[in-house]
Amino acid sequence: MVLSGVMIRETAEGKARFMRLSDLSDLKAGRPPALATGETPEVARALAIQEGDLIVAARGSATDICLATDSVLGAFVSLDLYLVRPNGTKVDPQFLFAFLTLPATQAHFATGKQGSGLARLPKDQLEMIKVPLPPIDTQRMIAGLACSFNEEGEILRKLSDLNFILSREVVARAISAAAATNQKKER
C-alpha cells in the first residue's frame, strides 16, 4: 500500500507529529529528526507511521528511502513523502527496502520523475514497480545480507573519517615538532 503524505497545519499546541522531507535526511544519517507538530489530519489516507513502514521521498534528484525507526513511529508523512506499508505476509520490509534502494530500481524511479525544479516521483510510478517476491524466508535472508553490507559500509565510512582525522593530527604534530626542533637549533 502506497499513501501520499498530508498537508501539515503546524500549531504549537498540536499533538500530531509530522515527518518532512528534511527529516528523511536526518534518518538516513542516523540522527533522530526534529518533527513538526500540528493538528491531526482528517483525511482517510493519513495513517500514522508504524513499525515496518517505509518512508519514500516524493521529491528530489535521488529517491531517498528509509525504514521507520522508533523516533518517527506514530507520526504522519508530509506532502513531499510517501508512506509505503508492506503486507507482512507477502513481503519483508527490509527486503523491500533493499530492492527499492538498488541502483536499477533507483534508475527506474529517476526516469519517471516529473518537473524541472525539484523533480517529483509520481505515486503510480512507485505503485507500479514490479517487486520480485521469493518465499518470505528467502526475502529475510536477502534482507539480512543487504543489512550486513550496509553495516559494513557504515563502519568503513567511520573508519575513513577517523583515519582522516588521525592523519591530519599526525601531520600537525610532525610540523609542530619540526618547528620546535628548528627553533632550538636557531638559539
Specify whether 25 is located in the same domain as 54: yes
* pTM to 2 decimal places: 0.74
pLDDT score recorded for residue 116 = 65
Of residues 117 and 138, more confidently modeled: 138
Please give the average per-residue pLDDT across 49-55, as a whole number.
Answer: 90
Specify whether 104 is located in the same domain as 91: yes
Specify whether 15 is located in the same domain as 25: yes
In the sheet with 36-38, reading across from the earlier edge strand, the strands are 36-38, 16-19, 76-77
Please give the average per-residue pLDDT across 35-43, as a whole number.
Answer: 80
pLDDT exceeds cutoff 80 at 45: no
Q: Tell me, rounded to whole angstroms, the distance of Cα 111 from its chain centroid.
A: 20
Specify whether 88 is located in the same domain as 165: no
> Domain range for residue 178?
134-187
Q: Mean pLDDT over all residues of the chain?
A: 85
* CATH number, domain with residue 77: 3.90.220.20
pLDDT score recorded for residue 98 = 92
Grid cell at residue 4:
501520499
Specify whether 127 is located in the same domain as 138: no
pLDDT exceeds cutoff 70 at 154: yes
133 burial level (CB within 10 Å; 0-12, 13-18, 19+): middle
